[in-house]
Structures are given as structure tokens and as C-alpha cells.
Amino acid sequence: MNILYITLLVVLPFAFGVKEQEHWEKYKLEFKKSYDTVEEEQRKFNIFKDNLKMINAHNEKFKAGLTTYEMEVNKFADLTADEYTTKYKMFPSQTFIYNDTLPVANEIEHGEDNRTSEYLDWREKGAVTPAKNQGTCGACWIFSAIGVLEGLYFRKYNKLISFSEQNIVDCISNTSCLGGWPPRVLGYVEKHGITKEEEYPYQEKQGECRQDKFKSIKLPSIEILKIRDEEDALKEAVTKFGPVIVCVYASSKWMFYKSGVWYEKECSYNSNHAMVLVGYGRENGADYWLVKNSMGKDWGDNGFIKIARNKHRNYCGITGTAFYVI
């Protein structure tokens, strides 16, 4: 370590400002952050300060009842919106363009057994594994499909098994971490089966396919149905058939989501992220969709987010590209 670098380490805390420095040191310790150079740390600290200011201002509005969701400082607080989008592979909408060669149907058959309540949480029924973490591998399309398959297996056999995303990352494509089409995962599993996560754990990167080294679980015939672009249809689907694949627009503003019903007036219909819809309800007068993310249990509400429902048609793209399986 040269003399200049040592000097900068000594001087840097005073340049930061005492209060901000305290937040910064606590943040680095809590989230195990370290940086290669003092210049990089200064840059990250400046980003952190901007994010902290924005989060605090938002939460003052939340306390005043001017917004329906709360933010928090989390592991993303040293990233700009562009860095977050790039590092965590939030893809443009063409990732999820509908492929009409897939075996899909347009709508659910209606009947008396399709009547829905105003609250549903498939976690309470035992059909949902805890939130997982895709990390910097852009495999949200795989995580969303696996979440739906776990729900399907539970509904058929009354047993919840955590299936292996790494199995699919390694075996379905040579570009698995660069995005893909969720129903493709369903077709692969129908043909080849899938292993348990405990046997084939996630590694956050693509490797050699090792599925033949483990016992694969075979699922019965999987029929994929596309939900028509209406909230009532989406609600019926998740009620009757369990967790549903949804492709949404993951705004950079929800990087710091903590709790409550996420709603911003402006939200793109162009989806860039696949997730798992596991229920719906109403909180403090705001209707919501309950959605499982793949950013770890330390993001949001134990890895889940409540997205506004009954606000606008196809809000944040949630009804535009959605699938369930039977």
C-alpha cells in the first residue's frame, strides 16, 4: 500500500461528513461491501448518499400517508439505476415477446368453481418455497418457471420440493444467464424432469450440465396456458391453478422496496423481469398482487413484493404476459 493511498484512507472520513460516514460504515459492515480503490469507494459513497437522500424523502411521504409503500437501504444502495439494470440483468421487453409456437391457450373456462375471494396467499397453503436469489445471473425466467412447477407439484402430490434452478441454468441453454422465455423451462422439465435443489445447488453462473448424476423427478404432462390480458382472468388463474408466471416491468424505483403496496403512477408495460404471482389481497385500502421475486430473502418483504392491483389495466405489464400450468 503506497503512502498516498494510506493518506487518503486517513483523510477520507472527514471528506465524507460525520453523519453520512456513520451510515456508510454501517452499510458496508452489514452488507459486506468492499472496494478495490479509494476512488471507487468515493464514487460508491456518492451514489449511496444520493440513494439515502431519496429513500429518506420517500419514507417521509410514506409516514404522511402520501404513498402506499415504504423503502429501505438494502444491498443495492451503492448502485445507480443503470448499474442495477446491467448487473442484475433487467432485460428489455423483447426478452418476453410472446412466442405463438408454444402450446398455450387464450383463456380460462369459466364456471361456478372459479369464483374468487378477496384474499389469497399460496404460502399459507404450503405451495411456495422461500424466496431465492438469482444473483447476477439473468435467470429470472428460470426462477419464475421453477416457482410455478414447485406449486404444481405441491397441488398434485401435497408435498413441497425445492427444485434446482441450477439444473436448468446448466442444461437448457448456453446463454441461460442472459435471459429467456419462461415456458421453455416448462417444456424442458416435462421432457427431462428436474432434480432437487439440495442435490444440485445454485451457483449464480452457468456450468456443465450434470443432471444425469442425480435422480430426476418426473412431473406429469404439463399444459401451459396463457392468461388473457385482464386482471380478473389473472385473479382466477392464481386462485384455481396455483402460482402463476408473470413478466413485469421491474422499475429501478423498487430496488429499495421494503413493504406496503408498491405503486407509482408511471410504470412501463414493457416487461423486463419474470416473477411468480402467489396471491392477492388488500392492505390499508389498496388492492395488491402478492409476487415472489428472485433477489433473495433480504430484499423487500422477505423476498416478496405487493404490486398495485385494480389501478390500471396491465399495470407494470403484470397481465400482459402471464402463464399457468395444469
User: Is the model's pLDDT at 71 over the cut of 80?
Assistant: yes
More confident residue, 209 or 87: 209
Q: How confident is the model at residue 94 (pLDDT cuts 50, 70, 90)?
A: very low
Per-residue model confidence (pLDDT) at position 105: 45
Cα–Cα distance measured from residue 300 to residue 69, given in angstroms and rounded to the nearest whole number? 11
Hey, which of 87-101, 108-122, 170-184 has the most confident mean pLDDT?
170-184
The predicted model scores a pTM of: 0.88
User: Is the model's pLDDT at 173 over the cut of 60?
Assistant: yes
Per-residue model confidence (pLDDT) at position 111: 44
Q: What is the pLDDT of residues 245-270, one digit of tens each?
A: 999 999 888 899 999 999 998 888 88
More confident residue, 94 or 317: 317
Instruction: Indicate the Cα dihedral angle 130, 211, 88, 24, nearest 10°.
Output: 60
Per-residue model confidence (pLDDT) at position 93: 46
Per-residue model confidence (pLDDT) at position 225: 86
Helix ranges, the chain (H): 3-16, 18-30, 38-63, 81-87, 140-157, 165-171, 182-192, 231-241
User: Is the model's pLDDT at 325 over the cut of 50?
Assistant: yes
Residues 6+ apart with CB under 8 A from 200: 164, 166, 167, 210, 211, 214
pLDDT, mean of residues 120-148: 97
Q: Which residues carry out catalysis?
A: 140, 273, 293
In the chain, the domains with their CATH numbers are: 3-67 (no CATH), 82-325 (3.90.70.10)
pLDDT, mean of residues 198-214: 97
User: Is the model's pLDDT at 133 over the cut of 60?
Assistant: yes
